[in-house]
Structure 1
Amino acid sequence: MYGIVDYPLYFIGVLTIIFLPGPNSMYCLAVATRSGVREATKTMAAVFIGDSILMALAAGGAASVLRTNPMLFNVLKIIGGLYLAYLGVQMLRDAWQGFQAALSNPPPNRQPEQTMQITSEQPHENVFKHALTLSLMNPKAILFFLSFFIPFVDPNYPHPALSFLLLAITLQVVSMCYLFMLAIAGSKLATWFGGKPKVGAAGLALVGLLFCTFAVKLGFAVI
């Protein structure tokens, strides 16, 4: 149908890939836990735009450029890895500050419906910019989108662009639904962390360590 081969298998593959922890989903969860669903929707919009750009680049031949220019791929992956590490270190720093604040100022009794940020809030943090940069600074994603889409496109179909578009829409819809669920879960965690700032700080530290791990993993990525 519309040049797509074995759409059910593709959909299962999308679910598997989307549900695996990655920088975009972890950042959305961290922002929702720290600042609420409203801020998390900004990260969702940034991820949608970033992934759309990467898919368009993959379909437009950017993957071939990266394959034939290993130096360009290495430069991009180093920049992306450094940015992941930067965000991870920022989260670790915020977690440490939150832990120190919890030690010096034990939280008073709170009502269940009250919420609390799990770290010191950064009022001027542009989560949209961070999420968009995070999405775009991964050259391996361009190669992934192309390699993932191609097996499900019928080479004999006269309009392959339509096939790519439908596959991309499917991935984006599933991705946005998953990120929205993470945002809701993050806001619920913020409520639970309200009376447990040490646990909240530990959770943010864990996400920070994951980002540092993502940075190292990207640093060792190969074409």
Structure 2
Amino acid sequence: MSVAFLLTTLVMVVTPGTGVVYTIAAGLSHGRRASVVAALGCTLGVVPHLVATITGLAAVLHTSAVAYETVKYLGVGYLLYMAWATLRDKEALAVEGADEPRPAARVIASGVLINVLNPKLTMFFVAFLPQFVPAGEPDSLGMMLRLSAVFMGLTFVVFAAYGMCAAAMRNRVLARPRVMTGIRRVFAACFVGLSARLAVA
């Protein structure tokens, strides 16, 4: 496994995007457990893109403008929904409810959807992974799966780190309801901005 692959993957994972924003929001709003579960959900959201790449479905997205636009605008719609849900979520302001865990299935489902509805991730796999699989490699599928596993591992570790750092600040934020309200608005604005960037991509 090349150093170039690890460095490129790390740069992509560390760069803030929808998954990072979602994981940080989960950490601030619902604590450490939710941030780790959110990171897991975002990581699992990579699997459908990997399957699409291996089975050739990614080629359909790449060559069919209609298919690509459909997935893209589903993603835009979901990010706008996340912005709305972030604004209306008042649970984080209730200190007495801080020990009530948010359903893991709900957190994971949101994380998976955020990444599944991002066709740019499939394009990344199509353009990125083949560069690190030598031509004529007899075990090309196995190598692609191993590289993808590394990508997913780094995604989980980095996203979880972001979320844990955010969760560490949660108690201080909870003591300042106005700050939490402002943070919710910032995250909602981030989701709107990311949806706009995806829409014009």
Task: Compute the TM-score of the two structures, normalised by the length of structure 1.
Answer: 0.80
Secondary structure of the equivalent of 1:217? helix
Distance between the aligned counterparts of 1:131 and 1:10, measured in 2?
A: 25
Moved more, 123-132 or 142-151: 123-132
Q: Work out which of the two has the higher radius of gyration on C-alpha atoms and give 1 or 2.
A: 1
Q: 8 Å contact 1:85–1:212 — kept in the other structure? A: yes
Q: 1:213 aligns with which of 165, 173, 193?
A: 193
CA positional deviation for 1:160: 0.7
The answer to whether the aligner puts 1:51 opposite 2:31 as a matched pair is no
Distance between the aligned counterparts of 1:178 and 1:9, measured in 2?
A: 18
The answer to whether the aligner puts 1:156 opposite 2:133 as a matched pair is no
Distance between the aligned counterparts of 1:22 and 1:141, measured in 2?
A: 11
C-alpha change, 1:123 and 1:48, in structure 2 (3 Å) is closer
Give the letter for the 2:157 counterpart.
C
Q: 8 Å contact 1:116–1:191 — kept in the other structure? A: no
- Counterpart position of 1:181: 161
Distance between the aligned counterparts of 1:132 and 1:123, measured in 2?
A: 16
Listed one character per residue, the Cα deviations across residues 50-76 of structure 1 (whole Å, up to 9, x for unaligned) are 102211211221121112211011111
Give the letter for the 1:69 counterpart.
S
| Aligned pairs, number | 199
Q: Extract unaligned runs of 5+ from structure 1.
A: 103-113
- Counterpart position of 2:14: 19
Q: 8 Å contact 1:92–1:209 — kept in the other structure? A: no
Q: Extract unaligned runs of 5+ from structure 2.
A: none
The answer to whether the aligner puts 1:167 opposite 2:162 as a matched pair is no
Give the letter for the 1:13 counterpart.
T
Give the letter for the 1:184 counterpart.
M
Secondary structure of the equivalent of 1:126? helix
Q: 8 Å contact 1:44–1:179 — kept in the other structure? A: yes
C-alpha change, 1:115 and 1:153, in structure 2 (3 Å) is farther
The answer to whether the aligner puts 1:195 opposite 2:190 as a matched pair is no
Percent of residue pairs identical: 20
Listed one character per residue, the Cα deviations across residues 69-123 of structure 1 (whole Å, up to 9, x for unaligned) are 11011111111101101101222344xx68xx89xxxxxxxxxxx8986xxx996
Distance between the aligned counterparts of 1:209 and 1:80, measured in 2?
A: 16
CA RMSD of aligned residues (A): 2.5
Q: 8 Å contact 2:39–2:163 — kept in the other structure? A: no
